Structure 1
Amino acid sequence: MAGLSLIGEYSSDSEDEKLSSKKEENQRYNAGKRLPLPQSIKTWKGVDHHTEVTDDPSQHEGKIRSFKHERGTWATLVYILYKPSETLLSWMNLIRTHHSIEDGKIFEEFHVSLTRTVPLKFHWIDSFVEGVKKISENSNQFAMELTDVKVYCNDNKTRTFLGICCENDEALNDLTEALNKLLNEYLLPRFYEEASHHVSFLWCLDNQEERLKVKLPSLSSSLRNFIAENPQESYVQVQELHCKVGNRLYTFNLR
């Protein structure tokens, strides 16, 4: 009986070793296989793993990115969407010819930025978007007034813009400050210290500030005349915020 017991123990040990060996073999096999990328992630506009992206301004009308592509990050912006009337669009296009800015290009979409364009890590997206949603739910709808024209230049001086200033300091500044606090949680850059909220409508390559600033008195006068003739264009009702992350757009209603 003792001999049978020893044989049983030996047999059991051998089976355990075989199972352990098979398990280790399967683990090594599975470790060498890559899981397929989820379809939900494939729809995001980002940089593929191990892919080096070279910025080519010739593919983007000469525009240069404010920061390089980084694996696992998405360009993110919070803003107020603005849809000008056909009448105002006509005025914008007349500005180019009447004020000798033929090299300027009119934007296809218009907005009022409430943050800089910042690089957001993929694993931060859900919580950041939730933060923007909460800010929207705690903010009232408001109206902003279109006033005069100003010149703006981006941080690296590669593009210059003409923008229509938007005034409602209390509401716009409150939104900007709330978003600045959210950005701080992710160690992302705040909005400009001397915020000048505006709708950019025309852009030129390179630093054209000096050239365009000379035209500001006549440009602002032209805008004021336009608004006097079209008073319905002077105010914009703000009812929602937009947050763009990569190629995804989130829209949140103000209360």
Structure 2
Amino acid sequence: MALVDYTSSDEAETASIGKAEPPGPSSLKRKREAQDDGDLPPLPSKFHDLYASSARVSTRDDPSLHDGRKRVTPHIEGNWPTHIYVEWCPLPAEYTLLNKLTTKLKGASSSNDAASNIHSFLISDLGAPLPLHISLSRPIGFLTESKDDFLLSLQQSVKKSDIRPFKITCSGLAWVANFEKTRWFLVLSLRKPSNDGLNKMLHLSNRVVQEYGQPPLYINPLPVDISRHTGAPRAAQYNATGRKSSAQQHSEPRWDNLQDLSNAFHISIAWTLSQPDTKLQTITESLATEFLDDLQKSPIDITEVKAKVGNVVNSLPLMSRILQGQNLFEG
């Protein structure tokens, strides 16, 4: 089992040596006040990556094990399921706000089962808060011999892009169906960031997955060969060693044909198998005004892209802006 590297507790303790003040009345008072306020130190940024997958309890698709959900993308033996996304770990106050929202919707009276059967994405079965995400790909899959090369291509494309860390804010609340209309999701829609970072990241992700014969997200796919159905790499792009030819490797992205798909980006916070009726839709719209004002006060920082391949989550940081060519003696 592969482990994600993270700062150990020993390193954290070593770093704090020499900085901690001796215990006294003032320090103990601050500690008690922090506990009374419910403030807890944040988890390491990579903590959730270690537990990104639940235990597999069946070798076949069994909706009874997943609250009635059916697998949309069939599992192919030997394929590594893959997903590209941006992650958001809400602050405790934001979790409380979102939980209050879903609880109110669950309690809403409705002529169908949508309200009573709303399932939250916010909390695990054990009661732990879960990270949310913005999808940058469909659920896709790769054979063992191509998954590492795909990940390398994605890493290099992100590294060579001009996408810098940015902030996003929520703009609305709505119910939307998946492509197959087998589930409906309660989603937070997002405002277009100033640097158009979401559209650029989607463009980059779609370009890389299509190079490997995989279907893109939100747009029509480019013509590809039959390998797209097996998860195998496109042979025309590979040399005898199975690696990409030098002409194809990690070219810098171009934004000339960048599409504006801002209306498609969203963060799912709950789901239901039943289509929400008009009454539940109306209740959702009324609650949007109540909750969005508070959510918009804390913009979401986007600093990295994540690619989950199998059970391993890979973090791909966006490049921080670097000032170049500035003379220290210039005013």
Q: TM-score, normalised to structure 1's length?
A: 0.72
Query: Mind listing any 5+ residue stretches in structure 2 that lack a counterpart?
Result: 3-52, 109-114, 122-129, 220-260, 320-331
User: Which aligned runs of 4 or more in structure 1 are off by greater than 6 angstroms?
Assistant: none
TM-fit CA distance, 1:109: 3.0
The answer for the alignment partner of 1:160 in structure 2 is 184
Per-residue Cα deviation, 1:159-205 (whole angstroms, up to 9, x for no partner): 11111122235110011011111111122111113551111111112
Percent identical? 24
Distance 1:251 1:110 in 2: 15
Per-residue Cα deviation, 1:111-133 (whole angstroms, up to 9, x for no partner): 11111111222222111111221
Equivalent position amino acid for 1:72 in 2: G
Equivalent position amino acid for 2:134 in 1: V
Per-residue Cα deviation, 1:145-170 (whole angstroms, up to 9, x for no partner): 12211222112222111111222351
Distance 2:100 2:64 in 1: 27
8 Å Cα contact 1:239-1:253 kept in structure 2:
yes
Match of 2:304 among 224, 240, 243: 240
Higher strand share: 1
The answer for the alignment partner of 2:62 in structure 1 is 56
- Change in 2 beyond 3 A, CA 1:84/1:55: same
Equivalent position amino acid for 2:172 in 1: D
Distance 2:301 2:74 in 1: 35
8 Å Cα contact 1:114-1:175 kept in structure 2:
yes
Residue aligned with 1:143, SS: strand
8 Å Cα contact 2:158-2:204 kept in structure 1:
no
- Change in 2 beyond 3 A, CA 1:56/1:143: same
Distance 1:189 1:211 in 2: 36
Match of 1:205 among 248, 264, 273: 273
Distance 1:92 1:246 in 2: 29
The answer for the alignment partner of 1:15 in structure 2 is none
The answer for the alignment partner of 1:92 in structure 2 is 98
Question: Number of residues paired by the alignment?
Answer: 203
Q: TM-score, normalised to structure 2's length?
A: 0.56
The answer for the alignment partner of 1:176 in structure 2 is 202
8 Å Cα contact 1:165-1:198 kept in structure 2:
yes
Written as runs of structure 1 = structure 2, the 5 A alignment for 1:61-76 is: 61-76=67-82
RMSD: 2.4
The answer for the alignment partner of 2:149 in structure 1 is 127
